[in-house]
């Protein structure tokens, strides 16, 4: 089974077994990318790998080549928590937006793969810069409203971190979307419970997110974001709820560092790269049948 | 000194409203967003005639900037409307990341700039907005001088690809530029050719510069007066051509000295053609409540201040 870039990146019939193989390869990319430059954010990237693989390799209708910034007639994904750029870049490359070999330039001088995603260097697949947190939901809502004006019936996805919800702009946007009936939008929160200074319940007091978003007028779903067996049905249900006058929020429980046992569940791997020995240990746990490391 | 006859006084914000409404009729991709200030921004006509292309955001300016960035993805040309203060300082990071760095085709339209906002006081009288916006790479910064020019600028920026900051104001001022003018972004407008001093003015100070030109003519001083409606990109050629003739410079604007038009021209002169320069601008101060005329006088932003600056700079000329 090959996980090389495919022009038909999103295949609705792709099996869970195939998705798991792709996810393992993406996780190999992530740990190798951050190890190579001794910087970057592996924890959240590993935790959100299954979501991005599900979206780009099964759920979304999208055309990697040639890349269309306006995304007319395509589903679109926005990464608001831009620090998990390694998973975004790996998934974009492996679904055909740019050569997989370019992953080797991550965070290096003159690269299109900036530390945080940017449009400035014209990297295909990225539609807005992110990194300064709290802005992506607003941008995604705007893009969703543009789709409505264009009579484009495709959907917009956006991923935020849970710590990111401490930014006030998120709640401005959360109030706006239901009021304006932006019902072609699925927002996902990566609820890994961790942020730089420690657990989110100790730092920011996020509280009952389901109750909060429901009170703001969203349709809210919850799912385990590291098991395709639960994630795929949740995404199907989210899609089925669109077009009913309300935006959809998926609270996705993940483990930071998922797939690498010594990184799992700890905020300590938010923004730290593995050393040589840790990299080898991680790669031994990320098994693919047909390895295609860049 | 040329005369600049006018038949009425109008506010520049109404020029924006008229331009936006015309764009609604002529450009189907133009959309507008407002943060609970439709009346103040004179967006009523657009809202009434193009409701499907108008987005009331409420008092949530950060969200408005992000929405505008998103609307460009899909080919829309969003015009955001709120006060200059809430269009810049309040949302600087949103503009920086989601609009400027991302190269989005958003038109940030900002009313009530400067002390002429009047009685509301310093919380609302932003005098730092031009500086903040011009520091952002590739941000175009425009400050037209009257109703007709603001309308023309509004039409012009819709055809310009890239982020723009369009600054205008609240008070009524003489509407003296041609109704049918073609607005050329980045192109200075020669108002009065002269030989003794170059006066570069922007926004509401353009009319004050004309008034000063008449006072100076009475004193036998022949001032060259140039309207710099586009602060960035600056029309360097027009500036240098003028100063090489007059050998001394006065700049005039309703903004802090730091970061404004005067600062841009001083940089240019220091690099290329060092010559004496005086700035008519606010000198490291916040504003306060008062009528626009009272404030313009107190903060040294009227024709008398320009005349004094001209006399000072001409005395420094070698």
CB contact under 8 Å between B74 and A119, yes or no, is no
| Cα of B78 to nearest chain A Cα, Å | 10
Distance set, CA B245 to CA B224, B238, B268 (Å): 10, 11, 16
pLDDT higher than threshold 80 for residue A6: no
Q: Name the phi and psi angles at A153, rounded to 5.
A: -90, 10
Mean pLDDT, chain A, integer: 95
Tokens of B130: 């031009």
Pick among A128, A164, A174 to test the B interface (most B CBs inside 10 A)? A128
* SS3 (DSSP) at B297: helix
Tokens of B155: 């039409």
Right CATH for B9-174 from 3.40.50.970, 3.30.70.1290, 3.40.190.10, 3.30.420.300: 3.40.50.970
CB contact under 8 Å between B58 and A175, yes or no, is yes
3 state SS for A44-95: HHHHCHHHHHHHHHHHCCCCCCCCCCCCCCCCEEEECCHHHHHHHHHHHHHC
Q: Count the domains in chain A.
A: 1
Tokens of A100: 């997989």
Looking at residue B305, its pLDDT comes to 98
Task: Find the CB nearest B70 among A118, A131, A142.
Answer: A142
DSSP state of B117: G
Given CA atoms A267, A270, A276, A280 in this order, what sign does their dihedral have?
positive
Average pLDDT over residues A59-75: 97
pLDDT classification of A13: cutoffs 50, 70, 90: confident
| Cα of A69 to nearest chain B Cα, Å | 7
The CA distance from B251 to A43, in Å, is 54
Q: Which run of H or of E encompasses B200?
A: strand B197-201
Long-range contacts of B86-89, Cβ-Cβ distance < 8 Å, separation of 24 or more = B86/B35, B86/B61, B87/B61, B87/B129, B87/B165, B88/B126, B88/B128, B88/B129, B88/B132, B88/B133, B88/B165, B89/B126, B89/B128, B89/B129, B89/B132
Looking at residue A9, its pLDDT comes to 61
Closest alpha carbon within chain A to B137: A120
* SS3 (DSSP) at B148: helix
The CA distance from A156 to A62, in Å, is 11
| Cα of B145 to nearest chain A Cα, Å | 32
DSSP string, B243-285: HHHHS-EEEEEEEESTTSHHHHHHHHHHHH----EEEEEE-S-
CB contact under 8 Å between B97 and A140, yes or no, is no
pLDDT classification of B208: cutoffs 50, 70, 90: very high
Average pLDDT over residues A246-269: 95
Q: With beta carbons under 8 A apart, name residues in chain B contacting A173.
A: 60, 63, 66-67
Task: Find the CB nearest B102 among A128, A145, A175.
Answer: A128
Q: With beta carbons under 8 A apart, name residues in chain B contacting A71.
A: 73-74
**Structure confidence by residue, pLDDT tens digits, A203-257:** 988 999 999 999 999 999 999 999 999 999 999 999 999 999 999 999 999 999 9
The verdict on residue A8 lying in a domain is no
DSSP string, B69-114: HHHHTTT-EEEEEEEHHHHTGGGHHHIIIIIIITT---EEEEES-S
Looking at residue A11, its pLDDT comes to 78
Residues 218-277 of A with CB under 8 A from B: none
pLDDT classification of A262: cutoffs 50, 70, 90: very high
pLDDT higher than threshold 50 for residue A3: no
DSSP string, chain A: ---S--SS---TT--HHHHHHHHHHHHHHHHHHHHHHT-S-HHHHHHTHHHHHHIIIII-----SS--TT-TTS-EEEESSGGGHHHHHHHHHHTTSS-GGGGGGTTSTT-SS-SS--TTTT-TT--S---STT-HHHHHHHHHHHHHHTT----EEEEEESGGGGSHHHHHHHHHHHHTT--SEEEEEEE--EETTEEHHHHT----HHHHHHHTT-EEEEEETT-HHHHHHHHHHHHHTTTSSS-EEEEEE--TTTTSGGGTT-GGGSS----HHHHHHHHHHS--SS----
The verdict on residue A258 lying in a domain is yes
The verdict on residue A110 lying in a domain is yes
CB contact under 8 Å between A129 and B98, yes or no, is yes
List chain B domain ranges. 9-174, 189-316
pLDDT higher than threshold 50 for residue B171: yes
Looking at residue A267, its pLDDT comes to 85
Mean pLDDT, chain B, integer: 98
Average pLDDT over residues B182-211: 98
pLDDT higher than threshold 70 for residue B212: yes
Q: With beta carbons under 8 A apart, name residues in chain B contacting A216.
A: none
Closest alpha carbon within chain B to A132: B97
Nearest Cα to Cα of residue B168 among B78, B42, B300: B42
Q: With beta carbons under 8 A apart, name residues in chain B contacting A130.
A: 97
Work out the angle between the directed axes of helices A168-179 and B61-72 (0-180°, nearest 10). Answer: 70
CB contact under 8 Å between A146 and B75, yes or no, is yes
Distance set, CA A55 to CA A52, A78, A188 (Å): 5, 11, 12
Nearest Cα to Cα of residue B43 among B22, B68, B72, B58: B22
Burial (Cβ within 10 Å: 0-12, 13-18, ≥19) of residue B241: middle
**Structure confidence by residue, pLDDT tens digits, A133-175:** 999 999 999 999 999 999 999 999 999 999 999 999 999 999 9
The verdict on residue A7 lying in a domain is no
**Structure confidence by residue, pLDDT tens digits, A87-137:** 999 999 999 999 999 999 999 999 999 999 999 999 999 999 999 999 999
3-state DSSP percent of chain B in helix, strand and coil, to 5: 45, 20, 35
Average pLDDT over residues B305-315: 98
The CA distance from B171 to B290, in Å, is 13
In sequence order, what are the residues at sequence separation of 6 or more whose Cβ sits closer than 8 angstroms to the Cβ of residue B271? Answer: none
Average pLDDT over residues A262-281: 94
- Contact call for residues B198 and B226 (beta carbons, < 8 A): yes
Range of the domain at A68: 16-285
| Cα of B308 to nearest chain A Cα, Å | 46
CB contact under 8 Å between B66 and A119, yes or no, is no
Tell me chain B's radius of gyration from C-alpha atoms.
19
CB contact under 8 Å between A70 and B73, yes or no, is yes
Pick among B29, B70, B103, B105 to test the A interface (most A CBs inside 10 A)? B70
Average pLDDT over residues B294-300: 98
Chain center to CA of B286: 19
Task: Find the CB nearest A169 among B52, B53, B63.
Answer: B63
pLDDT higher than threshold 70 for residue B197: yes
Q: With beta carbons under 8 A apart, name residues in chain A contacting B71.
A: 142-143, 145-146
**Structure confidence by residue, pLDDT tens digits, B55-102:** 999 999 999 999 999 999 999 999 999 999 999 999 999 999 999 999
The verdict on residue A11 lying in a domain is no
Given CATH 3.90.850.10, say whether it is the number of domain B189-316: no
Tokens of B2: 């040329």
Q: With beta carbons under 8 A apart, name residues in chain A contacting B63.
A: 138, 141, 169, 172-173, 176
Looking at residue A4, its pLDDT comes to 47
End-to-end CA distance of chain A: 17
DSSP state of B172: E
């Amino acid at each position: 089974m090959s996980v090389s870039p495919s022009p038909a990146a999103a295949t609705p019939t792709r099996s869970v077994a195939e998705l798991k193989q792709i996810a393992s390869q993406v996780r190999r990319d992530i740990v190798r990318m951050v190890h190579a430059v001794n910087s970057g954010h592996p924890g959240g990237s590993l935790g959100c790998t299954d979501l991005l693989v599900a979206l780009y390799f099964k759920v979304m209708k999208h055309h990697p080549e040639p890349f269309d910034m306006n995304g007319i007639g395509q589903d679109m994904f926005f990464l608001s928590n831009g620090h998990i750029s390694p998973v975004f870049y790996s998934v974009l490359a492996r679904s055909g937006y740019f050569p997989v070999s370019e992953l080797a330039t991550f965070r290096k001088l003159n690269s299109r793969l900036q530390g945080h995603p940017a449009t400035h260097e014209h990297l295909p697949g990225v539609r807005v810069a992110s990194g300064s947190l709290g802005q992506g939901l607003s941008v995604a809502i705007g893009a969703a409203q543009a789709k409505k004006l264009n009579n484009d019936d495709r959907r917009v996805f956006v991923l935020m971190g849970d710590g990111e919800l401490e930014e006030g702009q998120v709640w401005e946007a959360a109030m706006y979307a239901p009021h304006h009936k932006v019902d072609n939008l699925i927002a996902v929160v990566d609820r890994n419970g961790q942020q730089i200074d420690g657990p989110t319940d100790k730092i920011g007091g996020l509280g009952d997110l389901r109750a909060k978003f429901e009170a703001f007028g969203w349709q809210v779903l919850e799912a385990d974001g590291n098991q395709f067996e639960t994630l795929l049905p949740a995404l199907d249900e989210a899609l089925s709820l669109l077009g009913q006058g309300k935006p959809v929020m998926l609270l996705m429980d993940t483990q930071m560092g998922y797939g690498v046992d010594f990184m799992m569940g700890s905020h300590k791997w938010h923004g730290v790269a593995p050393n040589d020995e840790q990299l080898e240990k991680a790669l031994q746990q990320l098994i693919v049948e047909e390895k295609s490391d860049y | 000194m040329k005369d600049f006859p006018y038949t009425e006084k109008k506010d520049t914000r109404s020029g924006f409203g008229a331009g936006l409404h015309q764009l609604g009729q002529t450009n189907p991709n133009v959309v507008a967003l407002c943060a609970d200030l439709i009346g103040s921004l004179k967006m009523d006509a657009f809202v009434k005639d193009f409701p499907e292309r108008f987005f009331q955001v409420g008092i949530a300016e950060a969200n408005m900037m992000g929405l505008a960035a998103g609307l460009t993805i899909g080919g829309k040309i969003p015009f955001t409307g709120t006060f200059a203060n809430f269009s810049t300082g309040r949302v600087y990071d949103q503009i920086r990341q989601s609009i400027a760095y991302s190269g989005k085709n958003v038109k940030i339209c900002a009313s009530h700039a400067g002390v002429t906002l009047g009685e509301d006081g310093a919380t609302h009288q932003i005098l730092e907005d031009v500086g903040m916006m011009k520091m952002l790479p590739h941000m175009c910064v425009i400050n037209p001088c009257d109703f007709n020019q603001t309308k023309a600028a509004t039409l012009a920026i819709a055809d310009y690809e890239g982020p723009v900051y369009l600054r205008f104001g609240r008070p009524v001022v003489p509407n003296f530029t041609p109704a049918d003018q073609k607005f050329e972004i980045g192109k200075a407008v020669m108002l009065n050719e002269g030989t003794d001093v170059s006066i570069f003015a922007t926004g509401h100070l353009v009319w004050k510069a004309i008034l000063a030109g008449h006072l100076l003519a009475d004193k036998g001083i022949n001032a060259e007066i140039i309207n710099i409606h586009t602060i960035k990109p600056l029309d360097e050629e027009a500036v240098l051509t003028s100063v090489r003739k007059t050998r001394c410079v006065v700049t005039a604007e309703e903004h802090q000295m730091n970061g404004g038009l005067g600062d841009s021209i001083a940089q240019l002169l220091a690099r290329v053609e060092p010559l004496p320069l005086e700035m008519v601008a606010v000198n490291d101060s916040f504003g306060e409540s008062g009528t626009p005329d009272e404030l313009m006088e107190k903060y040294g932003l009227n024709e008398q201040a320009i005349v004094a600056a001209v006399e000072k700079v001409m005395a420094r000329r070698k």
